[in-house]
Amino acid sequence: MTSPYVRRRRLAQELRKLREDRDLTTNELARLVYQSRTKISKLENAQIRPDLADIVTLLETLDVTGQQYDKIFGLARTAARKGWWDRFGNAMGPRQRLYADLESGAETIRSYNQTAFPAVLQLPEFIDAMVELDQHQGALDYRPERMADARTRRQQHLLSPDGPTYEAVLDECMIHRLAIPPEVKATQLRHLITVVSAEDRITMRVLPSDTPIPGGFLPKASFSLYTFPDPADPPLAIIDTVTADLVLTQRHELAQYTGMYNRLLDVALPSDDSLNFLSQVANRLTRQTESKT
C-alpha cells in the first residue's frame, strides 16, 4: 500500500505550484472554487485528506488538462485513501496514526531510539508499563487499549512478507534508565532478540553509553528515517519531540539526520554483539527480580 500521508505531501506541492504559477493568492483561489481560504491552505500543507470532487473542481477551474490532470488526480486518489488506522480514529493517538500511515508504504525504516524501545515491537505488558509512565505527565490523548491494539497491527505489518526493512539503533542509556519493572523489561528484551533473530529484514544495534560519537554534535532527540518504493515519493525524517512529531522533507535537513544516523551506526555494536548485550541485560534483570522474591 502507498502511504496516503506521503501522497498528500506530494499533492500539496502540486496544488501550491498550480496556484503560484497562475499568480493567485490563497484567498483568490478560494473565491474561484467557492471554498474557504483555510481549506485551500490545509490542502497545500497536507493537513487534510483531499475530497476528490473538490480536487476536480480546482483542476477544472485552473484549466488543468491532459497528463498533468491525470497526474494530479492520481495523487489525490491515493492521498484520499483510508488505511486500517483510520478505523481507530484518535483513539490510537494522532502521533501513532502518522507512524502507521508511513509504515504502510515504507520500503526502509531506520530509527535512533533514545527514549524507549521501538514502539512497533513493543509487547502488551511493556505498553501497559509505558502508559503508566505517560499518565504521570498528564491526560492521555488516546485510549490505552486501542493504542495497544494499533501497535499490534503495526507489528503484524512489519513482520509480514511485504513489510519494510527495519533497522534500529538503541541507546544503552535508555535501556537502563527507562523506569519499567525489571521483569517486564527483561521480557521485552527477549522479545526483541527473538524477532531480530528470526527476521533477516530487521536489525537491532546497541549504542554503548561510553562510546564517543565523532564527527559532530550528539543527537538531541529520537528520530526515524523513511524511504519509499516509488522514486517520486520523497524520503522523510520524523523527529520525536516531547509534544509533537516533526516531519522533515527538505534535502539539507534529511542530509543532516542521515549523516547523524550513519555516525551512530558506525560506533554501535555489531548486530550479533548487540543481541548478546541485550540478552545479558535481560538475564541480569531476571536475576535481580528472583533475588527479591
Summarised one tens digit per residue, pLDDT across range 64-89 is 999 999 999 999 999 999 999 999 98
The grid cell for 99 is: 507512524
Q: How far apart are CA 178 and CA 117, in angstroms?
A: 9
Q: How far apart are CA 133 and CA 114, in angstroms?
A: 16
**Co-location of 150 and 101 in the same domain:** yes
**Co-location of 106 and 202 in the same domain:** yes
**Co-location of 68 and 128 in the same domain:** no
CATH number, domain of 70, equals 1.10.260.40
Domain range holding 135? 84-291
Q: What are 180-229's pLDDT values in tens digits?
A: 999 999 999 999 999 999 999 999 999 999 999 999 999 999 999 999 99
Which amino acid, 25? Answer: T
Q: Tally the domains of the chain.
A: 2
**Co-location of 150 and 57 in the same domain:** no
Check whether 292 has a pLDDT greater than 80.
no
pLDDT score at 293: 66
**Co-location of 108 and 247 in the same domain:** yes
**Co-location of 60 and 119 in the same domain:** no
Please list, residue by residue across 20-47, b when 16 or more beta carbons sit within 10 angstroms of its beta carbon and e when fewer do.
Answer: eeeebebeebbebbebeeebbbebbebe
| Domain endpoint, select from 12, 46, 79 | 79
The grid cell for 26 is: 490563497
> 262: burial class by Cβ within 10 Å (0-12, 13-18, 19+)?
exposed
| Domain endpoint, select from 58, 79, 100 | 79
pLDDT score at 136: 92
**Co-location of 203 and 219 in the same domain:** yes
The full length of the chain comes to 293
CATH number, domain of 144, equals 3.30.870
| Domain endpoint, select from 38, 54, 79 | 79
pTM: 0.94
Q: What are 231-288's pLDDT values in tens digits?
A: 999 999 999 998 889 999 999 999 999 999 999 999 999 999 999 999 999 999 999 8
